[in-house]
Structure formats: structure tokens, C-alpha cells
Amino acid sequence: MPIIHHLIVDQFGAFVGKHSGRLRVTHQKDGKAEMLAEAPILHLEQVLITGNGVSLSSDAVLACCEEGIPIYFLSSSGRPYAALYSSGLTGTVQTRRAQLMAYDDTRSLTLARAFASGKIENQAAFLRYVAKYRKETAPDLYRELCRTADEMRANLADLDHLEGTTVDEVRSQVLAIEGRAAQAYWAALQRTVSAEYNWPGRLGRGAKDPVNSALNYGYGILYGQIERAIVLAGLDPYAGFIHVDRPGKPSLVLDLIEEFRVAAVDRVVFGLVGKGVNFEQDEQGLLKEDTRRMLAENVLERLEKPEKYQGKRHLLRAIIQMQARHLATFVRGDRPAYQPFIVKW
């Protein structure tokens, strides 16, 4: 039996308990407990609860907290609605104080530029990655994708000429630049998607078409990885920079996730689209259980792939954590600058 690093629990009525150094997932069938999965806690990195009607024992929760294993909860639409960590992970103070103070000085401007430029650079790079496979088979589309990538990168110069010294003064400018690039990115990708998918272009939360549903679900999984990295770095996930403060809105998670959407999710979803994979949906337009599991497995597998980073190769999951730590050292003044993660393809 293969070692399970990412335990996905999606069956209605499943129970997650602890048994002899393992997490065991069972389900009652005909009055008997049927074992669905068993994962050694020693090798486990996370538990992902994606189904309704799932219950956990307090022993299982305690074991995960003691070993630093996060438990994430996602709705059927991919909306993260809860995460369990050890309470000791949120006990740091120095970094959070520095993070709050950074909002009112030029550090916030540096971070706003970095988050936006990382997003644009990675989107443009992905278009070129998609284009190279069409150079011979669809030369017109190849040229269009490359042209769009160049136009997107031209927006980066505007980030160097922001008028202001803090993020509050430049937020509207940053969002406008980011928005122009994103609009071009999604319009270009739309041309690569088969008409069979009937994809209307990028829509956010609440979208019912299969491609947007798959993207939203993938982003929900990535969200948990980003939040955990931020918490482990001693930062406050609710005190962001580009995204404004609102009750219950994890602004910093939404800031940092922008660097990783393309590498962790877009590549996975559009790779599956290119293979003609069917994202099955129910009558309400929600992804079916098997499709959700398939997407979760593919995104989590992608996070275990190595990428070039600071002259070496590291797992994408590890890079997320290192970026969060770099963010923490920057706001504390221990690092002179913050550089976004740029994927190399």
C-alpha cells in the first residue's frame, strides 16, 4: 500500500479516527465499519476534508496538532471555510507587530509592487509556455499568445512609476495595472480552450461552468497551503497590503496566493483541459465527488514537484513556505527587499 502524504476525505458519513500511530478513515456499511483509508501520521503532511457529513475524533485532531499536520475544510464549490492548526503556531508577536507597522510606510509599497509583478510575470510566462506547444500546429495562435504575453509584461513598467509612498495611496493604480494584465491573460487562454467546454472566460466565486469551477476548486486547495505558510512564518493572515481589510477576509493570504495561482493551479487545470478531461458536474452545477478528488490529487501532486528557486530546485510546497518567511523577514527589517516567486518554464 503506498504511503499517503495528503489524506483526502470526501465520502459522506466518513469518520476519521486515530489508531496505533495512524489516521484511519472508516464508513459504516451494513452495521460494520468499512476502512476507506489509513495513513501513518509519521508521513502525513495534511488532511483535506472535502465532503459533507465527515466527523473526526478528538484523538485524531490532537495527533495532527502535536505533529504540525493541518486539517483543511473545503465546501463542494472549493470555498475554504475552516482550518485546524496547533494553537501554539499563532503565538508569535514580534513579526505581527512589524507587519502592522509596515502597512503605513514604504514597505507596503514594495510589497504591493512585488505581489502584482509576480502575478503578471507568471501569467505572461504561462502564456508563452502554452504557446510553444502550438508553434507548429497553430502558428497564428502561437503568435497571438506571444504578443499578449509581451503586452502583459509591458504593464510591469507602470508598477515602477506609482504615484505615492504607501499602499493606501497606490492601491487603485496597482489594481488597475493588475486588472489590465489579467483581462488580457484570460482572453488569450480562452482561445486555447476547446468549444466543447463552453467556457465563457474567467468568472470567480459562484461560477457554474466546468472550467471556472475547476479553477475555483483548485484555488481553494492552494488557499490552505498559503494560509498555513503565513501562519508558520509568524504573520497575520488577515493583515494584507493590496487586498483591503474586511472582517473575516484573509487579506494577506489573498496577496501572497497571487504569486502561486499559475504554477499550482492554472497549469494543472489547463493541462487537464488540453487532454480533454471531463469535469463532471451535478444538477446544481457543482463538481461531482470523483472530479473534486481528481482535482485535489492533481493540485497536491503539483505542489510536490520541484521548481527552480534561488539557484536550486525545491518543491513548490517548500517554496511557498520560504516566500512566506522572506515576507516575514522583510517586514521585520532583516531582509532589504522582497522578491516575488517567478516560475521558470
- Categorize the per-residue pLDDT at 188 as very low, low, confident or very high, splitting at 50, 70 and 90: very high
Give the per-residue pLDDT at 284.
Answer: 87
**Which tens digit of pLDDT belongs to each residue from 261-314?**
999 999 999 999 999 999 999 988 889 999 999 999 999 999 999 999 999 999
3-state secondary structure of 27: strand
> With 90 as the cut, is the pLDDT of residue 126 above it?
yes
pTM: 0.90
Question: Residue 136 pLDDT > 90, yes or no?
Answer: yes
Pair 115, 167: CB distance under 8 Å: no
pLDDT the model gives residue 207: 84
Q: How far is CA 155 from the centre of its chain?
A: 24
The whole-angstrom separation of Cα 8 and Cα 20 is 20
With cut-offs at 50, 70 and 90, classify the pLDDT of residue 83.
Answer: confident
Give 80's pLDDT tier (boundaries 50, 70, 90): confident
Q: Which CA distances in Å does 116 have to 111, 200, 236, 295, 310?
A: 8, 25, 20, 27, 20
Answer yes or no: is pLDDT of 89 > 80: no
The C-alpha atoms of residue 149 and residue 345 are separated, in whole angstroms, by: 14
Tell me: pLDDT of 88 over 80: no
Which of 249, 237, 245, 240 is closest to 112 using CA atoms? Answer: 240
**Average pLDDT, integer, range 173-186:** 97
- At 194, is the pLDDT very low, low, confident or very high (cuts 50, 70, 90)? very high
Q: What is the mean pLDDT of the chain?
A: 93
Map residue 71 onto helix, strand or coil. strand
pLDDT at 91 over 60: no
The whole-number pLDDT of residue 90 equals 58
- For residues 154-170, one letter each, b for 16 or more C-beta atoms within 10 angstroms of the residue's C-beta and e for the rest, the string is ebbebbeebebebbeeb
Question: What is the tens place of the pLDDT at every residue in 227-266?
Answer: 999 998 999 999 999 998 888 889 999 999 999 999 999 9
Q: What band does 84 get if pLDDT is binned at 50, 70 and 90?
A: confident
Instruction: Give the list of residues 6+ apart from residue 21 with CB closer than 8 angstroms, or none.
Output: 40, 41, 42
Structural domains in the chain, CATH included, are 6-69 (3.100.10.20), 94-331 (1.20.120.920)
**pLDDT attached to residue 30:** 74
